[in-house]
Structure 1
Amino acid sequence: MIISMTGYGKSVQQLPQRKITVEIRTLNSKNLDLNLRIPSAYREKELDIRKIAAAQLSRGKIDLALHVENTSGKTGQKLNIDQIEQYIDQLSQIQNLDASDKLKLVEIATSFPDVFQNIEEEIEDSEFQIVLKTVNEALDAVNDYRETEGSILQEEFTNRINNIAQLLDDVIVDDKNRLDGIRTRLEKAVADLKEKVDENRFEQELIYYLEKYDITEEKVRLNNHLNYFKQTMSASTSQGKKLAFISQEIGREINTIGSKANHAAMQQKVVQMKDELEKIKEQMLNVL
């Protein structure tokens, strides 16, 4: 099966006083690149969340965001009284400000951003278990998304591989006519010389010359690689790296056929095969 590295998943849990939301986005990457964005109160639990995400999403660039919204009506913040008093003392020293007008000084002092402190609450284990449940549900949604995208990629790869196989069949037909044509041209060239030649020596040289253009081995290997690619796609797990290696071998055989072709019709089909393979390689970057 083919699994894409591109995915998205979201899960929401509503508690009596909190709303927990987990969003996960994944993109392609050679290795696991896991980025977590979680509230500071959950920092000590980050490793647990990271292990769960890494176990289910083995590769890719992954952004996991945990949002915890307070729905109890409490702000979760308190005034930093010491900081406010320091601002008031400093403001009262400014010319044209009356230290007796403390209300005005307080109003100015509380406009600064660092006069409020977040109230750090200890996370209860029961709440964290719900957070983990939400993370797992989001991960399940991501994996479902990846599998759906993967099935589309697999259909695309199958069509491209079948196109290359059809072009290879056409090349095999052209190849027979090509070798017959080369032999005829060489025999005509020798006949035009109007010189007597050693027939045995001529036949040996002709065989040697034709062997340089023989693509029998390349045709067999290319066909085997195409079949191996389809077999690997049907494996129980996604084999992105392995398929990439097979794609390289397919490209090597296509290039060799092209270098030996010396035939316009075959060269055109080789170009078409390269185009199909290039489209496979572009999409292969997204395969897990």
Structure 2
Amino acid sequence: MSERQKIMLVTGMSGAGKTTSLRVLEDLGWETVDNFPIRLLRPLVREVLAGQDRTPLAIGFDSRTRGFTPATIVDIAKSLSDRDDLELITQFIDCNNTELERRYNETRRRHPLARGRTAMDGIRAERDVLEPLRRWADMLIDTSELSANELQQFVRQNFETQEAGELSITVSSFGFARGMPPLADLVFDMRFLDNPHWDGDLRELTGLDEPVTQFLRRTDGFEENFVRIRDLLLDLLPRYQAQGKSYVHIAFGCTGGRHRSVYTAERIAHALRENGFKPTTAHRNLASRAADAVELQTA
């Protein structure tokens, strides 16, 4: 069988980050088109499949797109999903109403569905219209607590190396003192381990440095629980894949996100690679200062 054509339909709430996602995909080598007329979607797909070029294609649309009818889009997506020569992905970029209102007020842009009313009126109207697409989407990205840079990083992590049919896995570290990661599927709290921060020789180092890794390997409870977590993930990941899940984000947290969570994330990523997976690693708070006051909370 010839290589399958990858096509992604990108939609979501206006102001949530659809344009940012498309720009990153373009940087990653995707061919992208935004606000494409819905009535031309089938002809475009036929033309793409008739050619020899299998460059992945991302098509953006939202409530401003000509001929936009969510039910029609879902019907088209269902029919395209049945094709053997096509891999279809649907990405929905969402954001809570309060944050969207803040963004519109800050930029002084008019919401496309406001029509002389308040931005919140437009946001609520659009959410009602888009609900069928939100339910249908393969991948939901909530940007309520993400900066533009964090959204860009997430898109790169999930689409830079993924091959057709491959489970895309992100293994990350973070500090609870700076908030939970909003897009994690599985979260493991590593604060039951002794904290290297309280060792003066280790405080300025991170979980990537050998003295810290040696400290944690010797810490009571690490090795046996690492094995339990590893074995759990090796059991769960194939099950997620069998259920059709394409993206899994596994996050490890500690107080500041610089020592315990970083080391555990690296060890888990290495174990997954040894077992045939291709995870991407990301360390959210690795660059934070060890002396930051937020680090001095209870371990």
User: What is the TM-score normalised by the length of structure 1?
Assistant: 0.25
Q: TM-score, normalised by structure 2?
A: 0.24
Highest CA radius of gyration, 1 or 2? 1
